[in-house]
Structure formats: structure tokens, C-alpha cells
Amino acid sequence: MTLPVAAEWYTSKKIDDSTTLILEPHVHVLEQANMFLVEGGEHDMILDTGMGIVPLKPYLDTLRTDPDKPIICVSSHTHIDHIGCVHEFDTRLVHPAEAEEMANPSGLSSLYRDDMPAQLLQTFLDAGYPPIDELLIDALPYVDYDPKSYVLRGASATGLLNEGDVVDLGNHRYTVLHLPGHSPGSIGLFEEASGVLFAADAIYDGPLIYEGPGMSISDYLATFEKLKALDVSVVHGGHDPSFGPARMHEIIARYEAIWLS
């Protein structure tokens, strides 16, 4: 399979005064996770780190107002598309339920479709994602890149995030919400003062994945009850565009109707 070479691997878009959305446009939409850089008064934060095909931190530093400011890496959960570059950061935070998986990834760790379990591929198709070609990428990051060389490295956590903990950036304070369902240790970050919710894969405006290893519909239903109780102004999900509270409740109602029917 011959692929073109990408002109750039990452793209970025400023979504408010302190927050930048980062994407890997040449990764299949299924694994094209949203990464969020939040620049704070005392610390910056990167929420999730993509696939790890190309180093992320050098790119991040071109976006940061002060690249020397300490940066906190938060992993919302430990699927392949969210921890690819976690090893590049000195401060690495994750929920304790997934700390071992972040240190020693045991799930999907390949760019090749044929290395994915057939049942999992069918789950993605049934959810509404487009078919995957031979590879999870449609371009090479640079000349002579060998997709077979891809490795999901992972890294040990330097700290753990439990329900109610606070990630304090100085001028932004995010309360940690434990939001299982998509994975046992999925977390979100909620800033009560602004109503901003980083929901990761607990909810996004696309096909939710809720049937697979470590996934639980009963946990998902409890997570939705927690989300419905929040005074949200905007939701930044782990995939797809951000949305407001009305859309959040529509998405929740849709899946509750499916699961409770």
C-alpha cells in the first residue's frame, strides 16, 4: 500500500483564549482523538496525547505562549488514541483503575486493520464508523516511515486522579469526574466557574463505543446521570466537534432509549 507523505502531521485550532484543539488529520476518524492544550497561569495542561506516531511535545511547545512553563499531561483513559505520546511528559496523571494499562499497554497497539480483533472491527462498523482500509493512517508522517515500526510505549503515572480531585493550572481549576462506561477509569474534567466540561470519550457528538473490553452499559448509565446533573456551558468530547448542553442531553437521551428499551 503506497501512501503520500503528509505536509504536516498535527493541526491546531484555538477554541477559546486559553484552549487549543489538536488533531491528527491523517489518522482514521475512529482513532482521531481530540487533544486539548489548556494554557494556565502557573501550569499548562495537555489532555490526551493521540496515537504517538509523531512526537507531540515539540509541536505543543510551538503553540504555547511560554514553552518553559511546567506542563501537566492528563490521560482521560488509556485507549491507543489517547496515550500515544504520554511518555514525553514529566508529569503524567491518570485514574488508578487504568494506571497499570498506561504503564504497560495491553490493548490495540498496531496501525494495521488486520491486527484488530474481528469482533471489535464489527463493533465499530455497527456503531456507524466507516470501514478501515489496510492501515489506520492515510499518509506517512515522513519519507521512509514504516508503519510496522509503530509501538505504543505507554508510561508509568507520576500521580493518580480520583473523583473530586482538582487539576489546578492557576487560573483554571478542573474537578475530576470519574466517568466509567467506555472504560473503567475514564475521567472528565469540569470547571464549575465556566461550565466547561472536558468529557473525553464519556460523551461526544459521534457514535459512542460501549460494547467491548472494559466497557459497561450500566456504568455508562450512571455516568450519564452524573453528566445530567452538571451546569454545563460547553462540552469538549474526546472526538468530533464540541457542543452545548442541549446537544449533550439529546445525545444522552438517544443512548438511554437504546439501552433501556
Domain-by-domain residue ranges, the chain?
11-260
Cβ pair 81, 27 in contact under 8 A:
yes
Torsion of CA 93, 248, 26, 19, to 10 degrees: -60
Q: How confident is the model at residue 107 (pLDDT cuts 50, 70, 90)?
A: confident
Cβ pair 51, 88 in contact under 8 A:
no
Torsion of CA 238, 30, 22, 154, to 10 degrees: 80
pTM: 0.97
Q: What is the pLDDT of residue 2?
A: 87
Provide the 3-class DSSP secondary structure of residue 243: strand
Cβ pair 162, 95 in contact under 8 A:
yes
Cα–Cα distance, 71 to 58 (Å, whole number): 13
Cα–Cα distance, 206 to 128 (Å, whole number): 9
Cα–Cα distance, 81 to 150 (Å, whole number): 13
Question: For domain 11-260, is the CATH number 3.60.15.10?
Answer: yes
Percent of the chain predicted with pLDDT > 70 = 100
100: which DSSP letter? H
Q: What is the pLDDT of residue 160?
A: 98
